């Protein structure tokens, strides 16, 4: 069971799959005849799946993470057997009955995860290694446990800062050359010159600057009005370069934002050891995966039930693997979060997860079992409030692409000039981000609305609104083809 004592939906299970082939294969294994000794208790689900070997595959899932372990040789995380078991469990007690204790082989792995989580949490409080996300087998790869040399760490940080500063200086020269030759030259230059500049940003260990260079390279082929967009992005890149080259002149929080934007981040263990954590019941509002060909990035948005604060969790994996952090949309997580330092904090890391759930009812949760009340959508705001929230955040972080908001009582409306979300209360409308054009899930959103008002979660930015989740009345992910680009 999840923290609300309810089983997940099939959609939430399939959202964990690393690829479409795994979803298909997992669906074929979601049959009671394939499994023996299956059961569920608390946060654990287990079962034996008959496979090609002489012995069945031992499959166990810790929903608190989640984490997975399977005896099959597959390198995919989670594998098709894990997905099949969870799909069978999601279908009801007829497939995976609740109650009873896990078998010895499952309890051994679950117990090791609990012990390791306790040690990692204690280590994070003492400045040691911090907790990670869910893993396939939960096996830790611990080191010797010796303390790091602070002087050596300081020297490494200084060397990297020097390399990034050199990269920012070189990018400044590239921008100056572009403006001197005229923006029209960017259309003729092609990707070659930009690729070389991006490669130099990689050498400078400045992934944030590299991402901006690649976005600059794509603008000349982005359609009508590209010179204005290119000039805007050049200005923002110049602002970031100058900000990093003059960090000592910036307020502390803006300096932290600038470091993050060029690609410098605080290790999770250090973050949890030095920053104040906030405990709340965090509602998972949405999830979106994106890839640049080298890494898959998973973004998970949360909102605190008590604090009403938004939070963004990031996790990464290589192509073909599912990122470790896998929190289904609609889940309510009782946990401590630590925010990364920033002028407008949003990105966070999960610290301690608490087993006990507060008595207050959640505004939304995954569908309840038969006979239980199905809660509605979370509380949202109108278009004007969403724009005010984005404007306030943008005033503190000029490189912000969008700010997460929940819109209530909006009607999706298609048109010749693009989609809009109309606010029937005020008569105003918010345009949908043009990068979302062609997404089939916009028509899905319209079908769910039936021409009436719906609640939609997404990001509100200078291009418009990017829908991520709606409610019908339970969460429906709108992730058909995600809008590209993570910077302004």
CA angle 169, 172, 176 (to 5 degrees): 145
pLDDT in tens, 359-383: 333 344 344 333 333 346 899 999 9
How confident is the model over 284-317, as pLDDT tens digits?
999 988 877 777 888 999 999 999 999 999 988 7
3-state secondary structure (DSSP) of residue 338: strand
What is d(CA 114, CA 345) in angstroms, rounded to the nearest whole number? 30
The answer to whether 379 touches 406, Cβ cutoff 8 Å, is yes
Element of type H or E holding 12: helix 10-14
Per DSSP bridges, beta strands 420-423 and 332-339 are: unpaired
With 0-12 CB in 10 A as exposed, 13-18 as middle and 19+ as buried, what is 153? exposed
Q: Which one-letter DSSP state was computed for residue 69?
A: E
Q: What is the token pair recorded at 378?
A: 């979370």
Chain centroid, CA 173 distance in Å: 34
Give the position of tokens 């008959």.
Answer: 50
pLDDT tens sequence across 71-125: 998 888 889 999 999 999 988 777 888 888 999 999 999 999 888 877 766 655 5
Peptide bond into 236 cis (omega under 30): no
Mean pLDDT per block of 10 residues along the chain (488 residues) reads 64 82 90 90 91 86 87 88 92 82 92 80 53 40 48 88 95 93 79 85 92 91 87 96 96 94 90 93 91 82 96 84 78 93 94 62 39 62 95 95 95 91 90 85 91 95 94 82 38
40, 214, 303, 486 from 198: Cα distances, Å? 50, 7, 35, 16
Looking at residue 343, its pLDDT comes to 93
| Rg value, the chain, Cα | 24
Cα separation, 108 vs 54, whole angstroms: 22
Within 8 A by CB and 6+ apart from 390, the residues are 400, 402, 403, 405, 460, 461
CB–CB of 106/58 below 8 Å? Answer: yes
Q: Quick one: 469 exposed, middle or buried, by C-beta within 10 A (0-12, 13-18, 19+)?
A: buried
Alpha carbon separation from 147 to 61, 151, 164 (Å, rounded): 33, 12, 27
């Amino acid at each position: 069971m999840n923290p609300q004592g309810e089983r997940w939906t099939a959609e939430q299970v399939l959202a964990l799959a690393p690829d479409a082939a795994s979803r298909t294969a997992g669906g074929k294994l979601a049959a009671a005849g394939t499994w023996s000794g299956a059961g569920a208790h608390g946060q654990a689900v287990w079962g034996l799946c008959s496979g090609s070997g002489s012995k069945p595959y031992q499959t166990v899932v810790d929903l608190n993470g989640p984490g997975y372990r399977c005896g099959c040789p597959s390198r995919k995380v989670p594998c098709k057997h894990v997905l099949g078991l969870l799909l069978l469990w999601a279908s009801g007690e007829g497939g995976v009955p609740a109650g009873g204790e896990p078998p010895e082989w499952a309890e051994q792995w679950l117990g090791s995860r609990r012990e390791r989580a306790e040690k990692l949490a204690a280590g994070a409080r003492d400045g040691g290694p911090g907790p990670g996300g869910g893993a396939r087998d939960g096996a830790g790869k611990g080191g010797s446990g010796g303390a790091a040399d602070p002087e050596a760490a300081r020297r490494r940080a200084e060397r990297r800062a020097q390399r990034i500063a050199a990269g920012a200086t070189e990018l400044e020269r590239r921008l100056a050359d572009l403006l001197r030759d005229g923006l029209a030259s960017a259309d003729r230059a092609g990707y070659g010159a930009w690729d070389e500049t991006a490669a130099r940003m990689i050498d400078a260990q400045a992934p944030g600057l590299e991402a901006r260079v690649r976005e600059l390279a794509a603008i000349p082929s982005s359609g009508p009005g590209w010179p204005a967009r290119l000039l805007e992005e050049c200005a923002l890149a110049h602002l970031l370069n100058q900000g990093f080259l003059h960090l000592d002149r910036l307020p502390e929080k803006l300096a932290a934002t600038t470091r993050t934007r060029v690609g410098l981040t605080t290790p999770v263990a250090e973050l949890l050891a030095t920053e104040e954590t906030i405990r709340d019941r965090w509602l998972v509002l949405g999830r979106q995966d994106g890839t640049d060909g080298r890494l898959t990035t998973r973004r998970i948005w949360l909102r605190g039930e008590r604090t009403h604060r938004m939070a963004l969790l990031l996790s990464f994996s290589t192509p073909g693997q599912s990122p470790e952090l896998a929190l289904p949309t609609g889940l309510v997580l009782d946990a401590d979060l630590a925010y990364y330092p920033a002028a407008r904090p949003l990105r966070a890391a999960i610290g301690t997860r608490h087993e006990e759930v507060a008595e207050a009812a959640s505004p939304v949760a995954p569908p309840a079992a038969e006979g239980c009340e199905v809660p509605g959508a979370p509380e949202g705001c109108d278009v004007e409030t969403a724009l005010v929230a984005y404007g306030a955040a943008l005033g503190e972080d000029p490189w912000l692409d969008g700010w997460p908001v929940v819109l209530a009582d909006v009607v999706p409306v298609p048109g010749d000039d693009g989609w809009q979300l109309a606010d029937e209360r005020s008569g105003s409308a918010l345009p949908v981000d043009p990068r979302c054009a062609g997404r089939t899930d916009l028509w899905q959103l319209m079908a769910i609305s039936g021409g009436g008002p719906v609640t939609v979660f997404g990001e509100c930015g200078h291009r418009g609104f990017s829908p991520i989740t709606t409610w019908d009345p339970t969460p429906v992910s709108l992730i058909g083809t995600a809008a590209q680009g993570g910077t302004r």
